[in-house]
Structure 1
């Protein structure tokens, strides 16, 4: 078996002498798990690990020559700093919180190195995360992204398999939505100066962050359409949508009257708010949520802005206007049909009508 253990008298440390056949290069490995080897026993242990990896076909010299990069906690922070500019502000914030509040405490208590993170370690980590299903998944997604980066950088031999979806205990929430008459009742309670942005969301089925980030140049008046290519992430304007895809949205005919009501000022934003303190007087999440809640209170409704606008409009198309799911997918520009299937879940009142209707039919048959 290749490799041998030697002692260096001038430094008082042991090392493993290893010849890398593919590189035709000889390596002297002085550290095991980041620490200098002051005993022959530790050096022999390192040699056994290297020989074991060779037999298993998982040997990577980078695993043994790294200078502290294989320690999980510092690598997580170094990785996040490198990829920061590739992430949206919201994703960066979520990754940072995942590392600080969950990954760092776990790997400080259980000091596994990157290459030692395997399925059993990931199951322990998952069980230690004190968050709801989706929150637990977000922490694991963060670590998965980091390990994929480490694998591409040849810091680890491969990316370990992650726990199956069933172990995340993610419970799909039932969509809450309103029939169109009740939705319109809320919109009518909004002050007229603020109505355009809310009606735009109703008729174009987009995210609030995209409406807040919409610029005047994003409206093509010649072809009467909007190009959605920006969004607001963690209160910051980003020149990309959440999915990284530009969406061309035809202007709904019922929204055209509101275009004339949009404020005409020097702001680059399509929708502006006179009492906003943000750049260009653009709307913010706090302003929009406050306006929406006030309108809901006047209309005697209690529903979130996202559910009351996008979810409600999508559900109305399927459950009230009998639109095919494939057509709804075309309107919303979803990449997968599965993303719109949840809107086809008929509301409880409609189920009751169908059930009672069947009862009536059975009575007539018996008579």
Structure 2
């Protein structure tokens, strides 16, 4: 075993000295937790442990120092990591990561040194997270991203294995709930005509409600609409999800809608006539009142009314998934697979057309033989 660490003594007691990777280190706590200043046996035990870690190639001086321990355990490291990557994250993602560490990760493994996080500890963490499997995956995903950063930064030698989501933790895709076109019309009819344009726009484009509220006149072009900005968690104007601006075609239905809308002097396309400003989150109350008046008691959100219904109704008409995905401006085309369980009507229509063509020669042949 290596004999690099040395037990020494000064007027304050015992400590360990070693020169490691061209730096000198003075250590007086066992694993950054217990001081061995007045305990020679513990100091010698710490020396042996350090030499053993050096032999195995896993020695990290910071894990043995009290001050550094706070920086390299999961809780301390996560706090610094979240500050560093905050400019790269959307407000919503940063908020979710912060809550994942505060409410779920740190109470269980926050005291662990990041290099000591292993499959067993991750499995225990996953089992103790009191959320549905999808929520558990989001929490574990936050920790995975942090450890991946630590690995790339050289703070851990390798990434630990992560548990698989099986059994009771298996993630089952939720059913896509949407509103049929006839029901959508009933809801629109129950919305006061002053507020109806923005809701009609949502059903025609499948945009997110916050994108409709944030639509500006400068985003309108002759042949297309650009969804460039949206409202964030605190109603701040920010870039749209994914930050990649994708145009939406200016359809005849949209042209007619904009032609019939009352004009306003603001830079917003849709102005709330009651406030003289853009629509706020109270748009949800307007929608929910109309939904109930239309006799739809199921709690279907405005997001589902706009986005899910737009997508599912196109799919049910036989429009290709790739086209629907482009219209929804998905960054990842695989996202449209979440909408896979749509009606069989368009499938039946396709099969009927193909099978009628295949059967036509047979039918003609039989007729000729009669």
Query: Hey, what does 2:100 align to over in structure 1?
Result: 98
Query: Matches of 1:215 and 1:46 in 2, distance apart?
Result: 65
CA distance change for structure 1 residues 118 and 49 in 2, over 3 Å: closer, same or farther? farther
**Do the aligned partners of 2:225 and 2:248 also contact (CA within 8 Å) in 1?**
yes
**Which of 323, 326, 330 lines up with 1:327 in the alignment?**
323
How many residues are matched?
341
Query: Hey, what does 1:161 align to over in structure 2?
Result: 161
When normalised by structure 1's length, the TM-score is: 0.81
Query: Hey, what does 2:134 align to over in structure 1?
Result: 134
Structure 1 residue 86: Cα displacement: 3.2
**Do the aligned partners of 2:17 and 2:24 also contact (CA within 8 Å) in 1?**
no
Which is greater in Rg? 2
CA distance change for structure 1 residues 229 and 2 in 2, over 3 Å: closer, same or farther? farther
Structure 1 stretch displaced more, 141-150 or 36-45:
36-45
Query: Hey, what does 1:144 align to over in structure 2?
Result: 144
**Do the aligned partners of 2:209 and 2:306 also contact (CA within 8 Å) in 1?**
no
Structure 1 residue 308: Cα displacement: 2.2
Query: Matches of 2:12 and 2:265 in 1, distance apart?
Result: 71
1:1-367 alignment to 2 at 5 Å?
1-20=2-21, 24-35=22-33, 36-38=35-37, 39-61=39-61, 63-64=63-64, 66=68, 68-107=70-109, 111-166=111-166, 168-220=169-221, 223-262=222-261, 264-276=263-275, 281-285=277-281, 287-301=282-296, 302=298, 303-319=300-316, 321-347=317-343
Structure 1 residue 261: Cα displacement: 4.6
> 3-state DSSP class of the match of 2:75?
helix
Structure 1 residue 54: Cα displacement: 4.0
CA distance change for structure 1 residues 93 and 262 in 2, over 3 Å: closer, same or farther? farther
Query: Matches of 2:189 and 2:150 in 1, distance apart?
Result: 53
**Do the aligned partners of 2:208 and 2:306 also contact (CA within 8 Å) in 1?**
no
CA distance change for structure 1 residues 177 and 238 in 2, over 3 Å: closer, same or farther? same
> 3-state DSSP class of the match of 1:254?
helix
CA distances 1:218-271 after superposition (whole Å, capped 9, x unpaired): 112xx3311112222213334322222211111222111222355544433222
Query: Matches of 1:215 and 1:32 in 2, distance apart?
Result: 61
